[in-house]
């Protein structure tokens, strides 16, 4: 079964063909990072307009690279939330139009659920249930118990800044540019985590909080007069990164032990952080699965594989499918 996945929840325009819920036939991503970098973050209006320009060429390229035509597609899966309303509308409306024109079934996919399903792609170790899922991205830091396909129970979430958002703000404080996650990680490679920064443990809860850490970094930069050209930027970046990773790893491992799950699945853009994955692999008694970096960031292959399992369980959307920007999971 071949599924066309479409992803336009933020600033990546993506289309992918996935076969039988695991094999990537094509996976095309058109990033807008260079466009938004000058503003230090994603500008929603610009993002949605760029999706309009890019969506059809990206779909055509995905079909061409897969060397297939519409008669070889069995269904369309599209992200309908959460995300930027204008961006989501482009993907959903194009998907509905193509489904209607080609007589194909369509299913709406939760963006957060799709990130989890990236763990089913191009892997020799398929996930099994129940498993604990850590979703860490620019807009979300969620800890979710996955009991089966489409069965989720949210255990914890961020109370303020998500991990990726915190990295973006930390990079801005240190003058490292956008996107913040890769910038902080690169700067940290030349530094030592020698600055004492706080960890918000929120005892008795699986929730996360990174706002206080961000504020502490700002006070550190002001107090120590750390400028972008300063050699101590690397130390500050390493200290901040270590604080974020400590909380994510410790709380997730603790939850896995308490729940008795057999696997931990990492997902989302922040899961591409090498320190995070290394800390998990070196300290977790529970086996860890993490997609390769190109499948951690927003892409359409994860949407297609999630859609495959939707179709397997009869989750077919109608042509009245609409966007839900604030959609949650569990």
159 and 248 assigned to the same domain: yes
Residue 90 has pLDDT above 90, yes or no: yes
pLDDT digits (tens, 9 = 90+) for 108-164: 999 999 999 999 998 888 899 999 999 999 889 999 999 999 999 999 999 999 999
Co-location of 134 and 243 in the same domain: yes
Please report which confidence band the pLDDT of residue 74 belongs to, taking 50, 70 and 90 as the band edges. very high
**For residues 188-216, average pLDDT:** 96
**Predicted pLDDT of residue 26:** 98
Is there a single domain that holds both residue 149 and residue 28? no
Q: Each residue of 234-250: pLDDT tens digit?
A: 999 999 999 999 999 99
CATH number at residue 31: 3.30.420.40
Q: What is the mean pLDDT of residues 202-221?
A: 96
Predicted confidence (pLDDT) at residue 55 exceeds the cutoff of 90: yes
Q: For the chain, how many structural domains are there in total? A: 2
Alpha helices in the chain (DSSP H): 33-37, 44-66, 85-102, 111-117, 163-173, 180-188, 211-224, 233-259, 274-283, 293-296, 301-312
- Residue 330 maps to a domain: no
pLDDT tens per residue across span 11-45: 999 999 999 999 999 999 999 999 999 998 999 99
6 and 71 assigned to the same domain:
yes
Both 113 and 210 in a single domain?
no
Residue 330 pLDDT more than 90? no
User: Domain limits at 59?
Assistant: 2-118+295-312
Residue 166 CA to residue 240 CA, distance in Å, equals 9
| Whether 83 and 206 share a structural domain | no
Residues 152 and 111 in one domain: no
Do 136 and 89 have their domain in common?
Answer: no
DSSP 8-state symbol, 175: T
DSSP state of 83: S
Q: Are residues 203 and 281 in the same domain?
A: yes
Does 8 lie in the same domain as 105?
yes
In a domain, 321, yes or no: no
In a domain, 328, yes or no: no
pTM: 0.95
pLDDT given for residue 189 in this prediction: 96
| 132 within domain boundaries | yes
Give me the percent of the chain exceeding a pLDDT of 70: 100
**Do 66 and 206 sit in the same domain of this protein?**
no
**Mean pLDDT value across the chain:** 96
Task: Kindly report which listed range (74-78, 88-92, 123-127, 249-253) carries the lowest average pLDDT score.
Answer: 123-127
User: In this model, does residue 171 exceed pLDDT 90?
Assistant: yes
Q: Is residue 324 part of a domain?
A: no
- Mean pLDDT on 60-82: 97
Q: What is the mean pLDDT of residues 175-195?
A: 96
In a shared domain, residues 148 and 215: yes
In a domain, 329, yes or no: no
Q: Please enumerate in sequence order all residues whose Cβ is within 8 A of that of 307, keeping only pairs 6 or more positions apart, or say none.
A: 3, 5, 75, 76, 77, 78, 107, 109
**Which residue in 156, 118, 57 sits closest to 298, CA to CA?**
118
Q: What is the pLDDT of residue 50?
A: 98
């Amino acid at each position: 079964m071949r599924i066309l996945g479409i992803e336009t929840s933020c600033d990546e325009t993506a289309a992918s063909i996935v076969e039988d819920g695991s094999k990537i036939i094509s996976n095309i991503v058109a990033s807008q990072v260079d466009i938004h970098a000058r503003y230090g973050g994603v500008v929603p209006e610009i993002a949605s307009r760029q999706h309009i320009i890019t969506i059809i060429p990206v779909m055509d390229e995905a079909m061409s690279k897969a060397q297939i035509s519409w008669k070889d597609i069995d269904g369309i899966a599209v992200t309908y939330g959460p995300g930027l309303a204008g961006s989501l509308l482009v993907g959903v409306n194009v998907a509905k139009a193509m489904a209607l024109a080609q007589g194909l079934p369509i299913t709406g996919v939760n963006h957060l659920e799709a990130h989890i399903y990236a763990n089913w792609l191009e892997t020799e170790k398929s996930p099994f249930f129940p498993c604990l899922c850590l979703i860490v991205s620019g807009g979300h830091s969620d800890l979710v118990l996955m009991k089966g396909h489409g069965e989720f129970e949210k255990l914890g979430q961020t109370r303020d800044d998500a991990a990726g958002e915190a990295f973006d703000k930390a990079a801005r404080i240190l003058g490292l540019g956008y996107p913040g996650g890769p910038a902080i990680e690169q700067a940290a490679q030349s530094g030592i985590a020698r600055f004492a920064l706080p960890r918000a443990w929120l005892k008795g809860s699986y929730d996360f909080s990174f706002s206080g850490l961000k504020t502490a970094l700002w006070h550190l930069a002001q107090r120590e007069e750390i400028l972008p050209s300063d050699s101590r930027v690397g130390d500050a970046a390493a200290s901040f990164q270590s604080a974020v990773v400590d909380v994510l790893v410790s709380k997730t491992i603790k939850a896995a032990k308490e729940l008795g799950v057999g696997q931990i699945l990492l997902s989302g853009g922040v899961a591409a952080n090498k320190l995070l994955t290394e800390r998990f692999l070196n300290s977790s008694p529970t086996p860890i699965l993490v997609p390769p970096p190109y499948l951690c960031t927003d892409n359409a292959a994860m949407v297609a594989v999630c859609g495959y399992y939707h179709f397997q369980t009869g989750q077919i959307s109608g042509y009245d499918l609409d966007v839900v920007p604030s959609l949650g999971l569990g």
